[in-house]
Amino acid sequence: MYNCAHVFSGAGYHSESKAKEYKHVCKRACQQAVDQLKAGALAVEAVAAALVELEDSPFTNAGMGSNINLSGEIECDASLMDGKSLHYGAVGAISGIKNPVLVANRLLSEAQKGKLSAGRIPPCFLVGRGAHDWAISHGVPPCPSEKMATKFSLSAYKRNKRKMELAEKMDPGHNQTKRRRQSSRNENCSECLDTVGAVVVDMQGNVAAAVSSGGLAMKHPGRVGQAAHYGCGCWAENARNMNPYSTAVSTSGCGEHLIRTMLARECSTAMQSEDAHQALLEAMQNKFISSPFLASEDRVLGGVIVLRCCRCVEPQPSTNVQGSLVEFLWSHTTESMCVGYMSAQDSKAKTHISRLPPGTVPGQSLAIEGGVCRLMNTVD
């Protein structure tokens, strides 16, 4: 029996003053996923439920309270992957939808039904107005963008807008292209990188992963981050053929860095090694911090959560015990990352704000931690 969930409320900077709120939303998301799993839900349904909980929190940069872009609008990205079927659904730069992950999940489920009329291939990734219209036509309720803004996101937008205006006054030669470049530099500060995500394994051992984000603060309209890109925001793959482990990964951080390294898929591939902790450490160091694709970057900002599981039969004196080993790991190069994890055997979720070791530099150093859940069932 598996039924485990692992979530995060972003890799970036988590102030001590809001630590309680960050941990609380992670606990609720874990509880929501595990409750669904106990009721018999599949991994994809449970991971979507966890994401809805995270998107609805005003303290996360996803769904409600998402970052506001240069035009004063909210545009969100989200994706979901099913480790059993390997299907994937995603939306990018979508406005007017409170829970983008529900659209991604609906895209995934519709694609599993097969071809459309006249043999057309169903979409797995939609963006902008087309994504919004598709969502409405498939029963996902709309939500006006102004209702998705919170006092926190509005305050941040006004603060960032003042900074940009001040910078332009100090340098009258600042043209629009330079202003956007300045904005991009400001966005990449680690306190802004707080995508949310979850990874889940259900009773049958199927894994799923999902991720959702409002994107970088003051981003250019139409920008799509890693949360929507295949192999970059999330990855899930059941054990099969030569792969003994089922793995699910979700990422957070600077979308451009995560896209150029396809970090979610890279970490999933690395997890087939026997030592999960060492494998993740090497993947983060070699495939991310020291990646040749990011050689020009001063700071490489990102974080991942990983769920890895396998079945094993351990002989005992009087009987055999079938064990389910589930490993939860997380790693980040940002200042901090808030995570939570829970199994069906736990009365409540464990939560933790992981921080870089003192004296280390965000974007150049990394933290890595994890936990193990061993679930045993007696078999004849």
Question: Of 60, 150, 177, 195, which is the active-site residue?
Answer: 195
Count Cβ atoms below 10 Å from residue 310 Cβ, excluding itself: 16
CA distances from 16 to 23, 57, 187, 304, 348 (A): 11, 18, 22, 21, 22
Query: Are the beta carbons of 257 and 297 closer than 8 angstroms?
Result: yes
Of 346, 83, 379, nearest to 206 by C-alpha is 83
Contacts 24+ apart (CB under 8 A), 160-166: 160/186, 160/217, 160/218, 161/218, 164/218
195: annotated active-site residue = yes
Could you tell me the end-to-end alpha-carbon distance of the chain, in angstroms, rounded to an integer? 16
Contact 190, 335 (CB under 8 A): yes
Measured between alpha carbons, how far is 116 from 378 in angstroms, rounded to an integer? 46
Compute the 3-state secondary structure of the chain and give helix, strand, coil in percent, each to the nearest 5: 35, 30, 35
Helices assigned H by DSSP within the chain: 19-38, 43-55, 100-111, 128-137, 145-148, 151-170, 176-187, 255-261, 263-270, 276-284
Q: What is the rounded CA–CA span in Å between residue 32 and residue 167? A: 44
DSSP 106: H
Displacement of CA 219 from its chain's centroid (Å)? 19
| Block residue for tokens 């459309």 | 116
- What is each CA distance from 187 to 69, 113, 152, 180, in whole angstroms? 11, 40, 16, 10
Q: Point out the residues that are catalytic.
A: 195
